[in-house]
């Protein structure tokens, strides 16, 4: 039976990773760690023996005891302060809760001489300012991070490589692009748009307004269920020290997504740009190449955009009815 | 009168920067900050009104008061745990005392809305693993840091650029290559070799043994007095957000340096390689290009290798006699 520690367990991706393990033919044992209690029922999975412990990963003495007791074979390190926006407001917090929690985890493992496979989650934000001729972005593209969050992610990646080459640790790295799907918190754009449209629909509106930031920007959106499959495969068969883009390979604008959802709901939408929601320095287009992960791990996209949007709208309909 | 804060004041470079200001035609005001008391007499400079305060830069409340009172026009940020070797033993300490002290300083300045020019000192270690066809290294070469120390330096550099572009701060960056000169601590190779050879000479030996690490490696050594002139010019006229190599542009092996010093002292030396002093992953050759700083700032090398070695040997002779 495989033993996983999942940090940042209580978030959106943690829940979907557990769903994935639950659908698997094999039994697994999971210990979830997070600052916050999960809002999902992690005890109910047929094939997963799951426990949860509420901790701050910066408390290395607690983490040390946990690891010594549980002896994980895999660590899926999802814990992160992943908001670019907030990283501009509190750069030090962003840095501590990205690089420093990771570094502290690695040092605890090194001290204990316990060496599980670790998946370190990075971000497409690491590419930073992009020249359009470089699209789609491949893993050996240069990194020009333009926010405190992105710098923290690059530092985490570089540090991982040092721990692989200098200390022989078994770390695989991702640069994960925007993901979405049912259950995502509504402070993410698509989830919040979906919720608003479904709300309006349910109250019988034929037409509604929607306040947005810049919706012309094109992003590489990926269904969270494809993301967790990638993470599972990377933990199984990824190459130590290697970085993998986790992305759909396709670009779509937020505007197109809004129009698609409105069409599905048969509601007219009047988009109102709110300047407070605009972010500075945003790249107009970000699209990644997923050639490497497809070629090396046989991963492929199972959820197309229409499927994902249907599921997100259904999720909100169930929640809001 | 120009007002400088110098962090990491009590070290080798801080002292030489003060010497440089002392030789200048203009008066300056300096506030030195360091964890340790300086061992030099910082009160004795003719043209420099200098004070010192013993502090830990991570204590941001203390730093805030100091900056609010002093209102520096320039900050020369020398503070760093700069040992690559120690960064392998205590990576978290290395990270905290490189990136985090710098980030904390920037946040304090941003909070106070005090925006001096800042010189952020980086390292040739940032280039990391080098392909010899890339020599001499220019500033837009790729960075492949291979030690925790080097990752911290890269993170500091990337974060500086974010603060320049995102918050409009006035930061200039260096990648400084190996420096040496009179007064350097003897845990640095050349200084320790010089001390040992002078010691042997003074006790009348015609021949001596010298324990070393790998002395075939070729490095770009620069006299500290040329370094501080570069720092002065960068603070005066460097371009905001730009990185500058600070290097001699010439490579020399430690072996050649040892032979030159032994010849000057007229002592025969028997070099004994000590495996404990070997470092893993060392590049065989590192040489930088100083074209950018010469072209943009009119900086040039004033101390050639022979001059520097003479001065180092004289320094030890004075100390040891």
Instruction: Please judge whether A145 and B162 are an interchain contact, meaning their C-beta atoms are less than 8 angstroms apart.
Output: yes
Q: Does B86 touch chain A (CB under 8 A)?
A: no
Q: What average pLDDT does range B303-309 have in this prediction?
A: 96
Q: Does B91 touch chain A (CB under 8 A)?
A: yes
* pLDDT value at A317 more than 80: yes
Quote the tokens at residue B67: 């900056």
B100 CB neighbours in chain A (<8 A) are: 92, 95, 100
Instruction: Please judge whether B104 and A92 are an interchain contact, meaning their C-beta atoms are less than 8 angstroms apart.
Output: yes
Instruction: Please judge whether A95 and B103 are an interchain contact, meaning their C-beta atoms are less than 8 angstroms apart.
Output: yes
A103 CB neighbours in chain B (<8 A) are: 91-92, 95
* pLDDT value at A277 more than 80: no
pLDDT at B283: 81
Q: What average pLDDT does range A266-276 have in this prediction?
A: 89
Calculate the dihedral angle through the C-alpha atoms of B274, B277, B280, B286, rounding to the nearest 10 degrees: -100
pLDDT band of A275, cuts 50, 70, 90: confident
Q: Does B281 touch chain A (CB under 8 A)?
A: yes
Instruction: Please judge whether B100 and A95 are an interchain contact, meaning their C-beta atoms are less than 8 angstroms apart.
Output: yes
**Can you give the C-alpha Rg of chain B in angstroms?**
20
* pLDDT value at B251 more than 70: yes
- Bridge partners (DSSP) listed for residue B50: B30
| CA nearest neighbour of B17 among B74, B76, B81, B71 | B76
- Report whether B223 contacts B308 (CB < 8 A): yes
Query: How many percent of chain A have pLDDT more than 90?
Result: 87
| CA nearest neighbour of A149 among A217, A104, A232, A89 | A89
Torsions phi, psi for B32 (to 5 deg): -90, 135
* Tens of pLDDT, residues A175-227: 999 999 999 998 888 999 999 999 999 999 999 999 998 899 899 999 999 99
* pLDDT value at B278 more than 70: no
Q: What average pLDDT does range B121-139 have in this prediction?
A: 94
| CA nearest neighbour of A288 among A233, A257, A244 | A244
Q: Does B280 touch chain A (CB under 8 A)?
A: yes
Question: 10 Å Cβ neighbour count for B227?
Answer: 27
Q: Does A71 touch chain B (CB under 8 A)?
A: no
- What is the average pLDDT score of chain B? 94
Inter-chain CB pairs, A–B, below 8 Å:
77
The number of angstroms, rounded, from the C-alpha of B263 to the middle of its chain's C-alpha atoms is: 27
Distance from C-alpha of B222 to C-alpha of B303, rounded to nearest angstrom: 8
Whether the CA torsion A65, A68, A69, A72 is positive or negative: it is positive
DSSP string for residues in A35-83: SS--SS-TT--SSEEEEEEE--TT-HHHHHHHHHHH--SEEEE------
Question: 10 Å Cβ neighbour count for A251?
Answer: 19
pLDDT band of B219, cuts 50, 70, 90: very high
Nearest-CB residue to B107 (from A92, A159, A166): A92
The number of angstroms, rounded, from the C-alpha of B71 to the middle of its chain's C-alpha atoms is: 25
Q: Does B158 touch chain A (CB under 8 A)?
A: yes
Q: Does A302 touch chain B (CB under 8 A)?
A: no
Quote the tokens at residue B316: 């030890």
What is the predicted ipTM? 0.90
- Chosen from B96, B101, B159 to mutate, greatest number of chain A CBs within 10 A: B159
**How many Å lie between the alpha carbon of A155 and the closest alpha carbon of chain B?**
6
* pLDDT value at B274 more than 90: no
**How many Å lie between the alpha carbon of B95 and the closest alpha carbon of chain A?**
9
pTM value is 0.93
Q: Does B204 touch chain A (CB under 8 A)?
A: no
CA distances to B77, B185, B249, B300 from B11, rounded to whole Å, are: 12, 9, 24, 24
* Tens of pLDDT, residues B16-59: 999 999 998 899 999 999 999 999 999 999 899 999 999 999 99
* Tens of pLDDT, residues A22-38: 998 899 999 999 999 99
Query: How many percent of chain A have pLDDT more than 70?
Result: 98
A159 CB neighbours in chain B (<8 A) are: 91, 95, 148, 151
**How many Å lie between the alpha carbon of A154 and the closest alpha carbon of chain B?**
8
| CA nearest neighbour of A17 among A98, A109, A119 | A119
Angle, helices B305-320/B189-202, rounded to nearest 10 degrees:
50
Distance from C-alpha of B234 to C-alpha of A17, rounded to nearest angstrom: 51
- Report whether A148 contacts A130 (CB < 8 A): no
pLDDT at A318: 95
Nearest-CB residue to B166 (from A88, A152, A155): A88
**How buried is residue A163: exposed, middle or buried, by Cβ count under 10 Å (0-12/13-18/19+)?**
buried
Q: Which strand (E) or helix (H) includes residue B148?
A: helix B148-167
């Amino acid at each position: 039976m495989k033993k996983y520690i999942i940090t940042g367990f209580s978030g959106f991706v943690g829940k979907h990773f557990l769903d994935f393990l639950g659908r698997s033919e094999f039994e697994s044992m999971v210990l979830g760690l997070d600052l916050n209690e999960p809002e999902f029922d992690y005890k109910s999975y047929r094939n997963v023996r799951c426990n949860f412990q509420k901790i701050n990963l910066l408390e290395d003495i607690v983490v040390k005891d946990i690891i010594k007791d549980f002896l994980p074979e895999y660590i899926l390190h999802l814990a992160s302060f992943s908001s670019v926006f907030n990283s501009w407001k509190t750069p030090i917090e962003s840095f501590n809760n990205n690089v420093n929690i990771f570094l502290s985890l690695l040092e605890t493992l090194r001290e204990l001489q316990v060496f599980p496979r670790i998946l370190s989650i990075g971000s497409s934000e690491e590419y930073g300012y992009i020249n359009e001729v470089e699209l789609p972005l491949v893993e050996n593209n240069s990194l020009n991070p333009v926010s405190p969050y992105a710098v923290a992610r690059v530092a985490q990646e570089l540090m991982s490589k040092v721990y692989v080459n200098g200390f022989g640790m078994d770390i695989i790295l991702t640069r994960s692009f925007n993901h979405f799907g049912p259950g995502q918190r509504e402070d993410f754009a698509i989830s919040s748009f979906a919720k608003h449209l479904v709300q309006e629909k349910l109250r019988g509106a034929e037409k509604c307004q929607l306040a947005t930031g810049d919706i012309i920007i094109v992003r590489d959106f990926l269904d969270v269920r494809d993301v967790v499959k990638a993470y599972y495969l990377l933990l199984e068969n990824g190459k130590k020290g290697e970085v993998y883009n986790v992305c759909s390979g396709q670009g779509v604008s937020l505007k197109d997504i809004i129009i698609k959802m409105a069409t599905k709901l048969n509601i007219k939408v009047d988009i109102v740009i709110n300047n407070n929601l605009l972010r500075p320095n945003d790249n107009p287009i970000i699209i990644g190449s997923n050639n490497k992960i497809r070629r090396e791990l046989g991963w492929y996209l199972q959820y197309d955009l229409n499927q994902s949007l249907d599921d997100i709208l259904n999720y909100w309909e169930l929640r809001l009815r």
